[in-house]
Structure 1
């Protein structure tokens, strides 16, 4: 545990530590084996807590690894970010909108010829990023399309479950399409786009798809997946659809550290630029963080372009301030609250050793509540 610059009291930091340590114990079962929480106020890190170990179990039954194999979670630990990837995919595409290479409201079938047809021709980038495209939540590419070459076409031809614009359906398929769209517009692979447009300019040296062996050695383990011939995952993407597409997809696949995710959060908090590096126009970030759902669609929260807005389920009382961000299935989250100059990052491996073991919504709320009180400066 570290106490960083600022005037948050040590007692308060101890409360944050206690919250994360509680997750190591859990109730019926531990919620995760590793967790890192990083809170920034006004662009400065004030609270950093690391607990646990990168891997605690050898299989989904919870067989413990040998004590000598335990590695502590550190500030430098890399986590599978899961659906936090969607924020990066969104930022890449909104950058292309800023450049005039496409618009939010033109049919994406103009770029993806095998995508269109009937109602599908009405789907726009705005629909994809606000989860109102009518595309399904998921496909099972790894079982239903055994030939890798057929999986991209399966994504592009996924059947609609509703009319575009008629309902909110959180759709990983829609973000897989979004990643393919970015690649088609630019002629570049998505990993290169994320690196060149976001990670390199911002200095996010530990964020990217497909970690090399050195980075994988710093990664927190996720799930044991012997049914896919994968064993205990560590440094390999957890999301089966992204894995089926080679580990790079618009919905999931990025790995990163808490510090990198927090710096990306600062980019959004500060309107698209940080430390003189501009990635998005201020007007674009304003549109990104504006509720895109019409009054007739009310899922219990608001949703912008790639960001959840005001969701009390995991934001706690910060939801009332218009905080926005995203969670990841593996146990990750980024929360940004411009009204409080606040960025909150929580990275865990809650699917280790099995996704059936835990739900960390309560921990997410507790970390958000810890960050919520005003903290003096000076």
Structure 2
């Protein structure tokens, strides 16, 4: 019986590996140079696969790196998490709500005075975390403003594109505002808040902003960005807005490993605590992961506080069960399905060497389908 079970595990991992290897080969171009998939069931690692190399190309034209300089991706490879950062920012803000320092439905103008006029007076933390604030999706901070101070002010002054509460507009600007709100409320920088309130309690030793030299050496490369005076990125944040703010923003900037991201997901799956360490109260996680959108707002999925819910575009069959999580532009994702006791993490560097090369939605769906059925 044990031999049969062992064979089943080997076959299972082989199927998952084949999926990820297909992304290394791609079609016209590879989808990524490195990938790590980690599937946890009931809090325990069930499947772990690593494929590829930390970097494969020297520039956006696809000039290959010499074979002797290739470094294989491993379980401890650090990836630029991109918008998965938003979940950590959300968690920090919800700890402040639990402490009574912020209210989900209080106007943010009490802390950020530029939101004190006109329709902007109606914007609340709930609006920011559900992408219903009316703020624009993006600003080009790195081209339109000369320094960090003016860029921060541009974020705080961003004009509304919709009335608050009536439209879903996925807004990195809204999460940059959310990060600034956390800083103004506490007087601490966002990296310190994420470390003290999320990473340190959970023991996420490989997760944080601005990787130190040792961490950067373990990082998967992302994009070649000569248009803003940067070369091939490895350990430097990919998101240009976050980069222009010093690499620390509420929308993007975190780096981490698959094991760390899975532990964060497990904390949510277990209602805010893992291994006896509580980060959020159960009722807070329940509020975070319930649908917050009015029925009239239908972007093709549902949304909680920071988390996307039931999105078939990348969750595959797990969407029907109301799974929740988030993706990152660099090719990362974390998916939690409480009905199956599942946490699914897929980390890739799909923007290497260029964001124009690939879309990994099909691979995300395939991994979710594998997790649902294996």
Normalising by the smaller structure, the TM-score range is: over 0.9
By percentage of residues, which structure has more helix? 2
Q: Aligned partners of 2:203, 2:371: CA distance in 1, in Å?
A: 25
Are the equivalent residues in 2 in contact too, given 1:6–1:46 (CA < 8 A)? no
Aligned ranges 1:182-201 → 2 under 5 Å: 182-201=182-201
Are the equivalent residues in 2 in contact too, given 1:41–1:342 (CA < 8 A)? yes
Are the equivalent residues in 1 in contact too, given 2:115–2:123 (CA < 8 A)? no
1:146-197 CA-to-partner distances (Å, cap 9, x unmatched) read 2322000000000000000010000000000000000000110000000000
Aligned ranges 1:22-33 → 2 under 5 Å: 22-33=22-33
Q: Aligned partners of 2:190, 2:62: CA distance in 1, in Å?
A: 35
Greater shift in the superposed pair: 140-149 or 283-292: 140-149
Q: Aligned partners of 2:6, 2:221: CA distance in 1, in Å?
A: 32
Aligned ranges 1:1-378 → 2 under 5 Å: 9-373=9-373
Cα RMSD over matched residues? Answer: 1.1
| Structure 1 unaligned residues grouped into runs of 5+ | none
> What TM-score do the two structures reach when normalised by structure 2?
0.98
Q: Structure 1 73/96 Cα, relative in aligned 2: closer, same or farther at 3 Å?
A: same
Q: Aligned partners of 1:51, 1:192: CA distance in 2, in Å?
A: 33
Shift of 1:114: 2.5
Runs of 4+ with >6 A deviation = none
Q: Aligned partners of 1:8, 1:92: CA distance in 2, in Å?
A: 41
> What TM-score do the two structures reach when normalised by structure 1?
0.97
Q: Structure 1 182/20 Cα, relative in aligned 2: closer, same or farther at 3 Å?
A: same
Q: Aligned partners of 1:188, 1:212: CA distance in 2, in Å?
A: 20
Q: Structure 1 6/240 Cα, relative in aligned 2: closer, same or farther at 3 Å?
A: farther
1:303-355 CA-to-partner distances (Å, cap 9, x unmatched) read 00000000000000000001000000000000000000000000000000000
SS in 2 for 1:72: coil
1:208-257 CA-to-partner distances (Å, cap 9, x unmatched) read 00000000000000000011111000000000000000000000000000
Q: Aligned partners of 1:134, 1:115: CA distance in 2, in Å?
A: 12
Provide the aligned length of Structure 1 versus Structure 2.
370
Greater shift in the superposed pair: 215-224 or 141-150: 141-150
Q: Aligned partners of 1:353, 1:242: CA distance in 2, in Å?
A: 19
Q: Aligned partners of 2:25, 2:111: CA distance in 1, in Å?
A: 50
Q: Aligned partners of 2:69, 2:353: CA distance in 1, in Å?
A: 16
Q: Aligned partners of 1:251, 1:8: CA distance in 2, in Å?
A: 40
